[in-house]
Amino acid sequence: MFTLRRYKPTDAEAVEYLHVYAIQQAGAYLGRGPWDDDVYAIEEAYLNNQGEFLIGEWDGIFVGMGAFRRTGPERAEIKRMRIHPDYQGRGFGQIIYNELEARARAMGYKTLHLDTSVVQVPAQKLYEKNGFHEVDRDVYQGLEVILYEKQLS
CA separation, residue 114 to residues 1, 41, 68, 75 (Å)? 28, 19, 9, 11
pTM strictly above 0.85 = yes
Residue-wise pLDDT tens digits, 51-88: 999 999 999 999 999 999 999 999 999 999 999 999 99
Q: Does 19 fall in a domain? A: yes
State how many domains the chain has: 1
**Residue-number span of the structural domain to which 62 is assigned:** 2-109
Q: Does 27 fall in a domain? A: yes
Domain CATH number, residue 37: 3.40.630.30
Q: Does 67 fall in a domain? A: yes
Q: Does 119 fall in a domain? A: no
Cα separation, 91 vs 72, in Å, equals 30
